[in-house]
């Protein structure tokens, strides 16, 4: 049994199924299960399950719904649980936040990308605007504590200082809202989204409490499907890592030279040097999945697909050095930044 891509329009070729095709369009479903007996003939329609870390109302859930509006979100306790859900077939896709304008790559999920074989199939960038939420009727002057995800608390440092109250870190923003409700905390507020306030029936005491108005988080959508998506109106972007045991500067210069000579536009280049907590572990899918240790890894994003000949030539040139190259995915290069609807 084969599956259609979840991010491309489904093309149905069987003339006898024209009515069925109309029904699919009307329902706006994007995932079709095909019958192996009759070729590309749809036999059933299935909603995508998208795993994310957190509870309903979390920003990762909004990213999942932005990427796949008709999906069924699957909340998970941890980011690793979301990845495992896809690996075990309990979900079709997983959502991972990987970097933000305020914290850089401090969202720390690149290690999960390197240790698991789930290619990136889409990216979603979203504005993150934090609100101060409280139980109905609670006023600012009654607050003694604010709870939220550690990064949300860090992003709202000035607002917390002005409030002059204690703050406590919990697993995620929407989880803070749940905790607020389940314990009927009348002296505590949560930092979360305005949508979480609507979902859980809380009062918004203040909007846009983050320190910087420009606060964007990049989310990656992961899948077990290893086929390279077709180019779309946005073009393609590719993410890969170059791991090595040699001099970082030499490898970096070689990489820049190979891409520059072919006019390949880099959108991200970050060096992860040796760390005090040990080497970087990278899964090698081609050799059955062993984790290899490297003292240094270069993270590279660039415009284009692995199908492009000039990119193949660039990687072939880089491979002349003793390096390990692993493609993390080629996917839609969507330039839009989405907000909560």
Active site (annotated) includes residue 217: yes
Is residue 294 within 8 A of residue 255, CB to CB? The reply is no
Q: Between β-strands 93-100 and 216-223, what pairing exists: parallel, antiparallel or unpaired?
A: antiparallel
Phi-psi map region of 39: left, alpha, beta (phi>0 left; psi -120 to 50 alpha) = left
Cα three-residue angle 339-131-167, rounded to 5 degrees: 135
Rg (CA), the chain: 22
Q: What burial letters (b/e) apply to 148-164, b meaning 16+ CB within 10 Å?
A: bbebbbbbbeebbeebe
CA proximity to 31, closest of 14, 43, 17: 43
Q: How far is CA 200 from the centre of its chain?
A: 25
CA proximity to 93, closest of 29, 6, 4, 10: 6
Handedness of CA 304, 309, 310, 314 (dihedral sign): positive
Residue 56 CB-density burial (10 A; 0-12 exposed, 13-18 middle, 19+ buried): middle
| Residue 271: CB atoms within 10 Å | 13
User: Exactly one of 7, 62, 219, 294 is catalytic; which is it?
Assistant: 219
Alpha carbon distance 331, 231 (integer Å): 8
Strand locations in the chain (E): 32-35, 41-45, 49-53, 72-76, 93-100, 120-127, 131-134, 145-148, 166-169, 188-192, 203-207, 216-223, 236-244, 266-272, 280-283, 291-294, 296-303, 323-332, 337-338
Active site (annotated) includes residue 234: no
Is residue 62 within 8 A of residue 71, CB to CB? The reply is no
User: Exactly one of 66, 188, 217, 238 is catalytic; which is it?
Assistant: 217
Active site residues: 217, 219
């Amino acid at each position: 049994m084969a599956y259609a891509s979840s991010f491309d329009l489904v093309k149905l070729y069987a003339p006898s199924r024209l009515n069925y095709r109309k029904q699919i369009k009307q329902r706006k479903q994007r995932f079709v299960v095909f019958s192996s007996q009759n070729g590309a003939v749809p036999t059933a329609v299935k909603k995508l399950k998208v795993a994310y870390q957190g509870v309903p109302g979390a920003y990762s859930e909004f990213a999942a719904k932005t990427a796949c509006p008709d999906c069924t979100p699957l909340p998970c306790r941890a980011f690793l649980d979301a990845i495992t859900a896809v690996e075990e077939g309990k979900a079709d896709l997983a959502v991972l936040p990987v970097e933000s304008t305020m914290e850089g790559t401090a969202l720390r999920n690149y290690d999960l990308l390197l240790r698991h074989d789930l290619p990136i199939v889409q990216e979603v960038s979203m504005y993150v605007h934090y609100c101060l939420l409280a139980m109905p009727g609670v006023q600012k002057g009654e607050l003694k504590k604010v709870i939220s995800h550690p990064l949300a608390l860090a992003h709202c440092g000035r607002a917390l200082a002005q409030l002059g109250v204690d703050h406590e870190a919990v697993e995620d923003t929407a989880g803070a809202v749940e905790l607020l409700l389940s314990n009927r905390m009348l002296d505590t507020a949560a930092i979360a989204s305005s949508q979480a306030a609507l979902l859980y029936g809380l009062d918004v005491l203040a909007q846009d409490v983050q320190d910087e108005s420009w606060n964007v988080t990049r989310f990656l959508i992961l899948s077990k499907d290893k086929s390279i998506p077709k180019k779309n109106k946005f073009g393609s972007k590719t993410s890969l890592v170059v791991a090595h045991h040699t001099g970082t500067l030499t490898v970096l210069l070689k990489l820049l030279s190979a891409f520059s000579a072919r006019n390949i536009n880099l959108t991200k280049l970050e060096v992860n040097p040796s760390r005090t907590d040990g080497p970087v572990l990278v899964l090698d899918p081609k050799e059955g999945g062993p984790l290899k240790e490297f003292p240094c890894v270069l993270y590279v994003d660039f415009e284009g697909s692995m199908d492009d000949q000039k990119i193949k030539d660039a990687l072939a040139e880089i491979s002349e050095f003793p390096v390990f190259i692993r493609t993390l995915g080629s996917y839609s290069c969507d330039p839009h930044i989405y907000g909560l609807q």
